[in-house]
Amino acid sequence: MSRPNYPRLQQLIASAKSQLPLGVVYPLSQPALETVHELLSHQLCVPTLLGPAQRITQMAQEAGLDLTHIRLIDAPDDPVAAAKIAVQMVKQGEFAALMKGSQHTEDLMGPIVGRDGLRTERRTSHLFLFELRLVFQNSWTTEFF
- Structural domain boundaries in the chain: 10-113
Model-level pTM?
Answer: 0.81
Burial class (CB in 10 A: 0-12, 13-18, 19+), 15: exposed
pLDDT (tens digit, 9 = 90+) per residue, 74-95? Answer: 999 999 999 999 999 999 999 9
Whole-number pLDDT of residue 145: 46
Q: 39: pLDDT confidence band, cut at 50, 70 and 90?
A: very high
* Alpha-helix residue ranges (DSSP H) falling in the chain: 7-15, 30-41, 53-63, 79-91, 105-113
Q: Across the chain, what does the average pLDDT equal?
A: 87
Mean pLDDT confidence for 29-51: 94
Domain 10-113 fold is Rossmann fold (3.40.50)
Whole-number pLDDT of residue 140: 53
Q: What is the CA radius of gyration of the chain?
A: 19
